[in-house]
Structure 1
Amino acid sequence: MHLLPRVLAVVAACAIFPAAHAACTAATIKGYFAASGGGSYFSTYAAFGVAHVYFNGVNAVSISNYKEGQDGSVRVFTGYGSYQVDQYCRGTASIALKENGVAAGTISLSFVASGTPTSPQLQALISNPATGFTGGAVLNKINL
């Protein structure tokens, strides 16, 4: 009776983590992604955002047109940084943000890739210690 839940758990893990049947690399997530997510500053002030994110397939990442809404206002950011992906489709990125050309802190992403090779999806934890921001995001591959 306990075998069925274990079999279902293994099947689910293979669907969620492509590394169960193929190793991931930085090239696994090459391309443009539409990102959306939210979080809070110092666990008090809610914020939500959308962005275009580009992974170059080697180790560089850029963010364009990142718009973040909080308390009725919208701020616009850009950013550049680096990323890495391990064989289990887990990754990290560090991205220096700018708002109107002025440094606005560095965000850290911890993510896991799922989906298919042609349509990967990333689920990410985001943090920016300088501003006290913590949140999450989903990034879906798009064809631009």
Structure 2
Amino acid sequence: MSTLPDPADRGVLDVDPAVFRKIVEYAADTAPATRHRARRVAGLDVGESGPSARVTRRPGPARGTVGEAVGGAGEVDVRLRVTLVHPGSVRAAVADIRERVDADLRRTTGHRLRGFTVEVEALQPDDDGAASRAGSDTPRVR
């Protein structure tokens, strides 16, 4: 049997900032209330855009040290831009997104969510459109 050094003496795990951003964007994108938005440049369709995030890492006392408790990894501040479904509660949607983001960050990196700012850049009608008409017989003006 080989003898390994103490886990704290073996090294550190450093998570790239782009990984934090991808985790946050994926968690937000999987929330039922978020939608992708058509991107246009000079009047031309250039695809879709989903949630976009800016993540700032706040290292904890034992940031990423191998063998340390997961809770000691540190904290992150998130600034997130999303498009939400309409009609619907913005507060409930943001609360759900926050829970998803925090859970995914804790599970995959051990970091916890410290600050969370959401900018709702657009509201889009529900996919089937029935909820947006709310029983009206006349078509909506677009």
More strand by share: 1
Alignment TM-score, normalising by the size of structure 2: 0.31
What TM-score does the superposition give when structure 1 sets the normalisation length? 0.31
Larger radius of gyration: 2
Q: Which has the higher helix share?
A: 2
